[in-house]
Structure 1
């Protein structure tokens, strides 16, 4: 007899993101660790949204999995009756995280003007918008907003993801 285990990847990436975010509680994390945390939060969002999508729509993998994270969240919100407002928390964090993630995953060359008096002062050079967005997003807020969005979807759709400490479970087929 064969046995099957479900591996909950979103719980794995959630644990990593949460551990990285804890180190940032004082806001003094190195920029590279801060960005790594944001990327893991993005992985967690997308993985959790995909799992919720599979539980909500039997044809999720065939028709919806390739959509952008924003489109997936919108689809699930429409189904659940949840109202999205990407200008307010918790959805504002979602929007910021994916803008940063997309800028890192699909880098573009950008030309930013530097004034002559600052040519020898790289600290004063302008930065791409995503860098300031990432720097201004507090990791503990991003994790709290992730939890809030997932909980709202679970409650409004009447489904529940496994507790965050469960990384795998025996499943019946």
Structure 2
């Protein structure tokens, strides 16, 4: 049953909708139809009804849309920003936040190695053969490739901190049960209490009793990565997140 125009119909329940129609160059929206847009035209189709359709009316299948996605992920950037997020939580409430400082330092170490892999894979054709090197050995290869020098070497910042960071990282990554022994001290009844209550700590635990090590690790890792980044001539900003491309294509048959 037609009502009000050749593109409208009324079903048995009295609902008025649209017959499928094709419109060129403009958006159209009538009733409860759905619009699918391309560069030049729009296909409008009526929604499916559960009631019987008028005689002669034929439902059309919704047009197909093909979705594609592509993303370049800079893992080192994600780890760098995660390190800061965790550190900020610890700095906001330092008491009892040794786990936050531990997590931040570890993420900073992971970021350092991920950046070595990023730069090496991009500029050294033989990088796959070098992937089993330690992070510090990878850094030495890249410093040689880009003629990057640090005046104090491993005897001063920033490389001294980076070396300490990876000894810390290895102690955690290859953690073992340890028996810690205290060197006996003779004290008086007036001053023994504070010493008695101190917890015995492993070397790596000492580094996370406050935020100092985690903060210094970030400062010195950033210093190293900045020099390598500038020497390599990278186009992206250091610690950029990468790029993502999403596209949808309407298929009209």
TM-score (norm: length of structure 2): 0.57
Deviation at 1:23, TM superposition (A): 3.4
Contact conserved, 1:17 with 1:37, CA < 8 A, in 2?
yes
In 2, the alpha carbon distance for the partners of 1:24 and 1:167 equals: 28
Corresponding position: 1:32 with 2:99: yes
What are the within-5 Å matches in structure 2 for residues 115-134 of structure 1? Answer: 115=183, 121=196, 123-125=198-200, 127-134=201-208
| Aligned-residue CA RMSD (Å) | 2.9
Contact conserved, 2:109 with 2:169, CA < 8 A, in 1?
yes
In 2, the alpha carbon distance for the partners of 1:157 and 1:129 equals: 36
Larger strand fraction of residues: 2
Contact conserved, 1:100 with 1:131, CA < 8 A, in 2?
no
Corresponding position: 1:158 with 2:233: yes
Contact conserved, 1:80 with 1:157, CA < 8 A, in 2?
yes
Contact conserved, 2:76 with 2:115, CA < 8 A, in 1?
yes
Corresponding position: 1:7 with 2:73: yes
**Structure 2 runs not aligned, ≥5 long:** 1-65, 186-191, 246-253
Corresponding residue for residue 93 of structure 1: 161
Corresponding residue for residue 84 of structure 2: 18
Contact conserved, 1:16 with 1:40, CA < 8 A, in 2?
yes
Q: Secondary structure at the match of 1:138?
A: helix
**Structure 1 runs not aligned, ≥5 long:** none
Corresponding position: 1:47 with 2:121: no
Which stretch of the first structure deviates more once superposed, 145-154 or 21-30? 21-30
Contact conserved, 1:77 with 1:153, CA < 8 A, in 2?
yes
In 1, the alpha carbon distance for the partners of 2:159 and 2:216 equals: 11
TM-score (norm: length of structure 1): 0.80
In 2, the alpha carbon distance for the partners of 1:48 and 1:169 equals: 19
In 2, the alpha carbon distance for the partners of 1:115 and 1:90 equals: 33
What are the within-5 Å matches in structure 2 for residues 132-171 of structure 1? Answer: 132-135=206-209, 137-170=212-245
